[in-house]
Chain A
Amino acid sequence: MSVFLLQRLGQALVAIFGVMTLVFFIQRLTGDPTYLLVPETATQEDIEAMRRTLGLDQPLLMQYLDYLGDMLRFDLGRSFVQNVAVTEIIASRLPYTLQLAGGALLVALVIGLPVGLALAIWRKHRSTNVLMGFVLGAQSMPTFWSGILMIMVFGVWLGWLPPSGSGSLSHLIMPSIALGLLSMATYARIARSSVLDELSKDYVRSARARGVGTGRLVGKHLLRNSLIPVISISALEISQLLAGAVIVETVFAWPGLGQLTVQSVQSRDFVVVQGIVLLGALVTIGVNLIADILYSVVDPRIRKGDGA
């Protein structure tokens, strides 16, 4: 068991190292941020001085070694633009992204699961076509469009919700819906196929034969069994939500990591981008690591296969 764990851990470390190396070099391929940091009137000397301050005058290899050294000391560095520790910047943004991802997941589950269930149970009914159309429509709308549409309707015309910003539950509603609609369709489809699968199984037939009604059948038997794939897809959806948040956060001025990513990439704030990517890598690799370990706990074949 411990050998397996160590192996997995080692693989995870290598992967993180790879990601960090890639992001370091790819960013530096895109050019020099110094020009964005000085006023247009800056002279060549000003630009050189700024480059020295940022440490960008060093040879690339030196910069890379410095960077690796800092990583080993868990020092993510300071933002070029804001001159604030990257950990501090990310820590201030992370809670907002988690709130938004949570809100979106809730929206996706609360709408997506019942819709999927309905699509499966009444699959021969014509009205389900309308429902399917709704699901596809919601998924097809680009968030920058559906977001602005919602802002116009609920923020400006009806005045029910604040059009942008953060700070209260009412601020969270529109961005959560805009983001959640994307995943909703995925959940609806997964739920539908998984329920259909279950419906064809023997225990359902025998339950029906015993005279169990549809409501009880769904509530007591079907739902539980069909939830397994839904849960495993959630892990994937979370990374989807984080990616979609980039646009939603910009439209709704939601101060999360997505917005920070856009701003940092635009201003070539390498250090902040590295921090965000590191966080993303840690989350993704961490989740996979946990999943691997859980699988091996559940299924000894995996453990043995690797240990041999």
Chain B
Amino acid sequence: MMNKRKAARLVLPIALSLGLALPAAAKDQLVVDLVNEPATLDPHQQWNPDSYYVYRNIFDNMVTRDDAGEIVPQIATEWERVSDTEMVFTIRDDVTFHDGEPLTPEDVVYTVERITDPEFGSPQLGQFNKIVDAEVTGENEVTLTTDGAYPALLAQLVKLSIVPEHVASTMSSAEFNEGPVGSGPYVFEEWDRGVAVTVSKNEDYWGDEGPFETVVFRGVPDASTRVADLQSGNADLVVTLNTDLAMQVEGSGRGKVLTVNTERVAYFPMNASKPPLDQADMRRAIGYAIDRQAIVDGLLGGYPQVVDQMLSPAHFGWAEDIEGFDYDPEKARELIAGVEGADTEMELATAPVYDQRVVQAIQQMLTDVGLNVSIESTDMATWLQDQQSSQEQAPMLTFSRWSCACQDPDGIMYPLLHSSSNWSRVDVPEIDALLDEARSELDQEKRADLYAQVNRLALEGAHILPLYQAAIIYGAAEELEWQPTSNESLFLNRMSWSE
């Protein structure tokens, strides 16, 4: 084994360097270029795309979303709400972990207890701490009890990776991170620190098997290098390209661009506690002054979709009939003429991770209608801290994007519009009441209607400006067949390879 590997290490680069094409047989190994290596493979720890791109293939989740975005069974085959606070899940009985042990309802209970244990310190605690009790209540049956009615429960369980009690409970999270055992379509093989994570196909998987024998996830921080890897055939799938690089891939004829509009919504909060933004006309003027379609078409390659509500079509509760501010600089100037102190200097807070071209375009558009806007760029940690500070300390204007990775309005509208949230620059009692009501409304139709009401109110008072539904752009080999999903996951067993 070692010798074969060593031989491959020697021969492969030589063959490559001589420009020899290796025989293109069935695709044995898929190489994926991520931005960085995963932060963790313990699915209950750190929570960032580079980590879950990998571990969502090693672990199964309680439920999942199909390519159309509907919540469908995974480990739970069916579920029933028996009371406002209790939901009974039937657990699949034919699942085994990678070490051969069966997955039992006890593992599901352990999983919930592990991630909600404050001592464990999961960064994802806030997504699951509404679950106050998990119990095995019958053969293959688990009952979850929530703190009050919690309609977003299923949307959160899409992200609950089931871990084996007999492994995870015997070791620290750090140890589990080094040898994660799951039940997913791919088995963890090796983590070469700083270089790559290798997973191999789970031959005994209960569901759709993966199409590749092994998959290597590498960390390649520079986006141009990722594109070069794709074009030279050293990578088959690369993540996070900007529109310039996407055009480069499309123009080169080597590789293709795959894109999907995610549930990430770009938005523009305005701090209503600080004049002149305390006047609704000022905020409305900003709404009319920003040409969102021009940003999408001119800077973002036309991929994103302009939205007029604090949701995306990928969310539950998206209403078809909500119309927002059309670009109308004349109207903006008229409104500004009636605003007191409209020439006050306003800082527009941003951090380098956000597309600076968009931020500068917005600044320019606001300057064009006579406003005085300066860009304040800080590093990400400071930006995050500023955003979550009190109204008085928070910046006046911000460009930001939000994803709760749950495709549920509660995950985006509550934090951004409810006055109790650190993130919210909005303090409207009527909106608070509607959001609170929606949070425990179990009738889905009524619930969707409540969110639509909030969105209409937010537009009326221009309390926050939705901008667009952000797109994510991948580069892929011509032969890779894959439909990226709005929840930014790379499910390997939903991919295929066409010769």
Contact = CB atoms under 8 A, between A and B. Distances in A.
Interface of A: 30-33, 35-47, 49-50, 52-53, 78, 81-84, 88-89, 92-93, 96, 148, 151-152, 155-156, 158-171, 250-253, 255-256, 259-260, 262-263, 266, 268
Interface in B217-265: 218-222, 224-226, 228-229, 231-234
Contact of A162 (B13, B47, B231, B422): B13
Given A83-B45, A168-B9, 15 more contacts: A37-B46, A40-B402, A40-B404, A42-B123, A81-B46, A82-B177, A84-B177, A151-B228, A162-B234, A164-B229, A169-B13, A253-B218, A255-B193, A255-B219, A263-B36
Interface in B165-186: 173-174, 177-178
Contact of B222 (A30, A92, A161, A253): A253
- Which 9 A-B pairs have CB atoms at the shortest separation, nearest pair first? A255-B194, A35-B384, A92-B193, A168-B13, A170-B13, A253-B220, A53-B121, A163-B228, A38-B123
Contact of B16 (A40, A152, A162): A162
Interface in B39-53: 39-40, 42, 45-47
Contacts of B121: 49-50, 52-53
Interface string B47-87: 10000000000000000000000000000000000000000
Interface of chain B, main secondary structure: mixed
A140 B233 CA distance: 31
Contacts of B402: 40
Nearest to A85: B174
Contacts of A259: 194, 221
Nearest to B193: A92
Contacts of B405: 39
A46 B126 contact: yes
B221 A31 contact: no
Contacts of A164: 33, 218, 220, 222, 225-226, 228-229, 234
B218 A41 contact: no
A162 B14 CA distance: 11
B381 interface: yes
B385 A35 contact: yes
Contact of B384 (A36, A89, A253): A36
Contacts of B422: 43-44
B177 A260 contact: no
A250 B222 contact: yes
A49 B118 contact: yes
Contacts of A162: 13, 16, 232, 234
Given A37-B123, A46-B125, A263-B221, A152 B382 contact: no
B19 interface: yes
Contact of B123 (A50, A167, A170, A171): A50
B415 A40 contact: yes
B493 interface: no
B177 A83 contact: yes
Nearest to A263: B36
Interface residues of B, number: 61
A168 B226 CA distance: 19
B477 to A, nearest CB: 14
B428 interface: no
B126 A41 contact: yes
B443 interface: no
A263 B19 CA distance: 33
Contacts of B364: none
A31 B381 contact: yes
Contacts of B17: 160-161, 170
A251 B229 CA distance: 12
Contacts of B403: 40
Interface string B26-44: 0000000100100110100
Nearest to B11: A168
Contacts of B423: 40
6 contacts: A39-B127, A50-B121, A50-B123, A158-B19, A253-B221, A255-B195
A37 to B, nearest CB: 6
B381 A36 contact: yes
A255 B197 CA distance: 13
Contact of B195 (A33, A45, A50, A166): A166
A250 B40 CA distance: 21
B321 interface: no
Contacts of B221: 250, 253, 259, 262-263
B385 A31 contact: yes
Contacts of B127: 39, 41
A277 B423 CA distance: 35
Contact of A159 (B19, B125, B218, B220): B19
Contact of B39 (A82, A166, A253, A268): A82
A151 B45 CA distance: 36
